[in-house]
């Protein structure tokens, strides 16, 4: 039996017929170790090509680059099968659900901020009950317009899938005056919910840009004048209704004084702080999140990942040059 014929025979029996090393060894009269070496040669010499088929394609090299560039615990990069916002959210939702279910464990408190991408994560969760888990909102969500935040429905999906206790924040995210917010926080139920949100082990949130496509704008919390003011003040994005600039520094402090949400600083303290967001219009907003260290895990798409790395590299070079000049 020639060497090539042996390789081919073993490849067919192992990859097509699903025989074990031991079964192949018995048929050919060789040792299991020899079969193992031949299988390895099949791959190395290109006789066998392994194709991975998955509803999500993960760009491993980009994930590693994001983790290295931004000091992340983990990055997940997906490539949607087709173009468009809906396909992107579905891909991010699937990846977010899979990641989250790997990390939910007994006794965990999960905090979630409402938004369309986080809702996609909730919809893709598979039933996997876990003991003594709590799901709580990270920001207020009372509907103020015809477009619903769907926050209670969203955290209901999370709670149902993982068998968790559900804690809703049934109050507006943004009020007219800071005195109103102080009054809301004097209510023991709202104050208790916010305190639970601050103490979460895992935080999951989307990243909002300063556009009319953002969930808070659609929900009626923001208008064009507010977005224009945010642009003038250097804001690039928002998390839980709290704005920040490209370096990650908080913006619009007077607006923050009227916003019912966990503080941005608390997100830095979480064992797991997960930002799930993508799309070309959100690149600057996501970069601000990464620069501010508000997340230690990022779930995004391939195009956005490449843009983030490209934008970050010149900044690193500039800082290095400044150090040398100094």
Quick one: 35 and 154 in the same domain?
Answer: no
Residues 6+ apart with CB under 8 A from 27: 13, 19
Spatial separation of the C-alpha atoms in residues 280 and 286, rounded to whole Å: 10
Distance CA 29, CA 10 (A): 12
Name the more confident of 4 and 107. 107
CB-CB contact of 298 with 317 (8 Å) = no
**Tokens (6 digits) for 104:** 């939910």
Examine the pLDDT at 325 and tell me if it is beyond 50.
Answer: no
- Residue 137 near residue 161, CB atoms below 8 Å: no
- Does 51 map to a domain? no
Whole-number percent of the chain with pLDDT over 70: 91
The contacts of residue 97 (CB under 8 Å, 6+ apart) are 121, 122, 123, 124, 125, 126
The percent of residues above 90 in pLDDT, for the chain, comes to: 67
Q: Does 70 fall in a domain?
A: yes
pTM tops 0.85, yes or no:
no
Distance CA(241)–CA(208), nearest Å, equals 8
Does any domain span residue 174?
yes
Residues 99 and 167 in one domain: yes
Are 231 and 172 in contact by the 8 Å Cβ rule? The answer is: no
Do 161 and 192 fall into the same domain? Answer: yes
Residue 231 lies in a domain: yes
- Which residues have C-beta within 8 Å of that of residue 221, sequence separation ≥ 6? 144, 172, 173, 174, 241
- In degrees and rounded to multiples of 5, residue 44 shows phi and psi of -65, -35
Region 128-156: mean pLDDT is 86
Sole residue written with tokens 């990390």: 103
Can you give the length of the chain in residues?
A: 326
Looking at the domain assignment, is residue 49 inside a domain?
Answer: no
Residue 50: inside a domain: no
Q: CB of 215 within 8 A of CB of 114? A: yes
Decide if pLDDT at 262 tops 90. yes
User: Which has more confidence, 12 or 1?
Assistant: 12
Shared-domain flag, residues 31 and 143: no
Average pLDDT, the chain: 89
CATH number at residue 22: 1.10.10
Q: Could you list the residue range(s) of the whole structural domain that residue 22 is in?
A: 3-44
Residues 87 and 20 in one domain: no
Which CATH number is 86's domain given? 3.40.50.1360
Is residue 76 domain-shared with residue 11, that is, in the same domain? no
Residue 257, CB-side half-sphere exposure with 13 Å CA sphere: 6
CA distance 112 to 122: 10
- The Cα–Cα gap between 211 and 296 comes to 25
| Start-end of H helices in 135-187 | 151-162, 178-185
Are 38 and 161 in a shared domain? Answer: no
The string of pLDDT tens digits covering residues 275-302 is: 999 999 999 999 999 999 999 999 999 9
Any residues with CB less than 8 A from the CB of 88 and at least 6 apart, and which? Answer: 80, 278, 279, 301
Instruction: Verify that 150 and 238 share a domain, yes or no.
Output: yes
Q: Identify whether residues 33 and 95 lie together within a single domain.
A: no
Contact of 81 with 55, CB cutoff 8 Å: yes
Q: Within this chain, do residues 130 and 40 fall inside the same structural domain, yes or no? A: no
> 90 and 117: one domain?
yes
Residue 88 shares a structural domain with residue 32: no
Q: 């608390």: which residue's tokens?
A: 266
- Domain membership flag for residue 52: no
Instruction: Decide: helix, strand or coil at residue 110.
Output: strand
pLDDT band per the 50, 70, 90 thresholds, residue 250:
very high
Check if the beta carbon of residue 72 is closer than 8 Å to that of residue 273.
no
Q: Is residue 326 part of a domain?
A: no
What pLDDT is stored for residue 157 in this prediction?
A: 95
- How many domains, in total, are found in the chain? 2
């Amino acid at each position: 039996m020639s060497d090539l014929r042996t390789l081919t025979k073993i490849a067919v029996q192992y990859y097509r017929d699903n025989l074990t090393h031991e079964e192949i060894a018995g048929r050919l009269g060789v040792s299991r170790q020899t079969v193992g070496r031949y299988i390895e040669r099949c791959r190395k010499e290109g006789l066998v090509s392994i194709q991975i088929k998955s509803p999500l394609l993960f760009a491993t090299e980009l994930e590693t680059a994001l983790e290295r560039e931004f000091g992340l615990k983990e990055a997940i990069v997906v490539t949607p099968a087709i173009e468009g916002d809906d396909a992107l959210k579905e891909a991010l939702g699937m990846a977010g659900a899979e990641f989250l279910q790997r990390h939910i464990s007994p006794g965990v408190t999960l905090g979630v901020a409402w938004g369309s991408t986080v809702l996609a994560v909730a919809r893709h969760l598979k039933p996997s009950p876990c003991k003594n888990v709590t799901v709580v909102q990270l920001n207020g969500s009372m509907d103020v317009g015809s477009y619903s935040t769907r926050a209670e429905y969203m955290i209901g999906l999370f709670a149902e899938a993982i068998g968790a206790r559900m804690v809703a924040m049934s109050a507006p995210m943004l009020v007219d005056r800071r005195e109103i917010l102080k009054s809301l926080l004097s209510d023991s139920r709202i104050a208790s919910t916010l305190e639970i949100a601050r103490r979460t082990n895992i935080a999951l949130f989307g990243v909002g840009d300063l556009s009319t496509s953002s969930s808070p704008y659609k929900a009626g919390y923001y208008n064009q004048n507010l977005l224009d003011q945010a642009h003038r003040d250097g804001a690039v994005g928002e998390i839980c209704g709290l704005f920040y600039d490209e370096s990650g520094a908080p913006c619009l402090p007077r607006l923050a004084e009227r916003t019912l949400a966990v503080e941005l600083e608390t997100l830095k303290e979480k064992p797991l702080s997960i930002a799930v967001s993508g799309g070309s219009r959100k690149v600057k907003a996501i970069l601000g999140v990464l620069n501010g260290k508000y997340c230690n895990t990022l779930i995004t798409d391939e195009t956005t990942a490449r843009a983030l790395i490209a934008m970050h590299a010149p900044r690193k070079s500039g800082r290095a040059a400044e150090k040398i000049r100094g």
